[in-house]
C-alpha cells in the first residue's frame, strides 16, 4: 500500500475517533438544561434563615424527596435513542478502516482478512455503550446521584442558597470544560470506540501471528511521558523500539515502566493494552504488524541489558 493511502486511512481513523462522540452533543445539552432547571426549581423553594438554607426545617428535607422525582423526570426522556443508533454506525466504519490498514501494512489478502472474527468484540462494545446511554437506571446512577449528593450536603450543612446555586450550576453546565452530561457521554462513547479498536488489534495479532506493533497517533501538547517516549523512541520505553516498532512480547516491560507513572490505569494489562494504552484517557491507537527480516536481525542482537535498565528505572521512578 502506498504511504499516502495509508496516511489517509490513519487520518480517517483519527477523525472518526475524535468526532463520532460529538453526535451526542445536542442531546446532552438538552438534558443538562432540564437537570439544571429541575434542580434550581427545588433549591429556590428551600426555607432560608438569615440567608442560609435552614438545615432544621422539615420542609427542606421533604423537598429532597421531590428532587429525586424531578431529576428522574429530567433523565427519563430519550434524546439519545436516535443518536445512539447513528453512533453505532461508527463501529462499522472503524472496522472497515482497521481492516484496510491491516491489509496494507501486512500485505494480507481479502481471504485472510475474512478469517478475522471480531463479531463478539463488536457486539460487546455496542451493548456497553447502548446500555450506558439508553438505560434509565444507568443514567440515574451516573448523573442523578452526584447532583442529589450536592444538594443533600447543602441542606444538611446549611449554607447560602447563592453558593449552592453556583456549585450546582457549575457542576451541571461546567465552567470552561464540558458539562456533566456531555462529559459523561463523550467519555463513554470514546472509550467504547477505543476498546473496540484495541480488540481488533489483539485479535489480528493472534489470528495472523503478528509479533509487533506501531503507535500511530501524533503527540499533543499535554501528552504524558510514556506516550512521548513511545512515539519519539526516547527514554525508558523508547529503548524498546526496533525500526519504529515495539514487540508484543515486550508489552509487560512497557507496562512495568508506565505503571509507575502518574495516570496509569490499574485495569490495564497485557491482554487489553491496545485498548487502554499507557494511561487513563490515552488517545493513542496501535497497529499490529509483521516483523521483517531486518527487524529480526536487530532483535537477535538486541541489548540484553534492557530488562536490567527497566528495573533501575522503576527503582528511580517508584
For 50-83, what is each residue's pLDDT tens digit?
878 887 888 877 888 888 888 888 887 666 777 8
DSSP class of residue 303 equals: -
CB-based contacts of 301, cutoff 8 Å, min separation 6 = none
Cα–Cα nearest to 291, from 204, 177, 210: 210
How much of the chain, in percent, has pLDDT values that exceed 70? 92
CB-based contacts of 15, cutoff 8 Å, min separation 6 = none
Q: What are 206-232's pLDDT values in tens digits?
A: 999 999 999 987 788 888 999 999 999
- pLDDT at res. 230: 92
214 forms beta bridges with 287
- pLDDT at res. 301: 59
pLDDT higher than 60, residue 270:
yes
Classified as helix, coil or strand, 217 is coil
The band of 302, judged by pLDDT with boundaries at 50, 70 and 90, is low
Summary mean pLDDT of the chain: 86
**Residue 200 CB neighbours (<10 A):** 25
pLDDT higher than 90, residue 92:
yes
The band of 99, judged by pLDDT with boundaries at 50, 70 and 90, is very high
> In this structure, are strands 212-215 and 48-49 parallel, antiparallel, or unpaired?
unpaired
- pLDDT at res. 300: 65
- pLDDT at res. 318: 43
- pLDDT at res. 77: 61
Q: What are 280-296's pLDDT values in tens digits?
A: 988 889 999 998 878 77
Cell, residue 48: 432560608
CA dihedral 276, 14, 142, 146 (to 10 degrees): 100
Please state the φ and ψ torsions of residue 212, each to the nearest 5 degrees.
-140, 175
Classified as helix, coil or strand, 153 is helix
Q: Classify the phi-psi angles of 289: left when phi > 0, otherwise alpha if psi is within -120 to 50, otherwise beta.
A: beta
How much of the chain, in percent, has pLDDT values that exceed 90? 42
Cell, residue 201: 488489534
pLDDT higher than 70, residue 142:
yes
Amino acid at each position: 500500500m502506498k504511504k499516502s493511502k495509508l496516511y489517509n486511512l490513519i487520518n480517517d481513523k483519527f477523525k472518526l475517533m475524535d468526532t463520532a462522540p460529538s453526535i451526542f452533543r445536542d442531546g446532552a445539552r438538552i438534558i443538562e438544561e432540564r437537570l439544571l432547571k429541575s434542580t434550581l426549581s427545588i433549591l429556590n423553594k428551600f426555607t432560608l434563615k438569615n440567608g442560609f438554607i435552614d438545615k432544621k426545617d422539615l420542609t427542606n428535607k421533604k423537598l429532597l424527596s421531590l428532587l429525586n422525582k424531578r431529576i428522574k423526570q429530567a433523565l427519563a426522556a430519550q434524546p439519545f435513542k436516535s443518536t445512539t443508533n447513528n453512533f453505532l454506525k461508527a463501529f462499522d466504519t472503524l472496522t472497515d478502516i482497521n481492516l484496510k490498514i491491516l491489509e496494507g501494512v501486512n500485505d494480507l489478502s481479502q481471504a485472510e482478512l475474512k478469517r478475522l472474527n471480531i463479531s463478539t468484540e463488536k457486539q460487546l462494545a455496542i451493548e456497553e455503550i447502548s446500555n450506558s446511554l439508553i438505560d434509565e437506571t444507568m443514567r440515574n446512577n451516573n448523573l442523578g446521584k452526584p447532583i442529589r449528593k450536592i444538594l443533600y450536603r447543602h441542606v444538611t450543612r446549611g449554607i447560602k442558597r447563592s453558593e449552592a446555586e453556583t456549585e450546582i450550576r457549575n457542576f451541571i453546565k461546567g465552567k470552561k470544560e464540558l458539562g456533566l452530561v456531555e462529559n459523561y457521554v463523550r467519555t463513554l462513547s470514546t472509550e467504547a470506540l477505543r476498546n473496540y479498536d484495541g480488540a481488533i488489534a489483539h485479535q489480528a495479532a493472534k489470528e495472523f501471528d503478528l509479533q509487533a506493533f506501531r503507535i500511530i497517533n501524533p503527540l499533543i501538547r499535554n501528552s504524558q511521558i510514556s506516550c512521548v517516549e513511545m512515539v519519539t523512541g526516547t527514554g525508558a520505553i523508547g529503548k524498546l523500539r526496533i525500526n519504529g516498532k515495539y514487540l508484543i512480547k515486550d508489552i509487560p516491560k512497557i507496562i512495568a515502566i508506565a505503571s509507575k507513572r502518574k495516570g496509569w490505569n490499574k485495569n490495564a494489562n497485557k491482554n487489553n493494552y491496545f485498548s487502554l494504552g499507557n494511561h487513563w484517557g490515552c488517545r493513542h491507537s496501535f497497529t499490529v504488524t509483521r516483523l521483517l527480516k531486518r527487524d529480526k536481525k536487530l532483535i537477535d542482537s538486541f541489548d540484553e541489558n534492557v530488562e536490567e535498565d527497566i528495573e533501575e528505572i522503576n527503582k528511580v521512578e517508584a
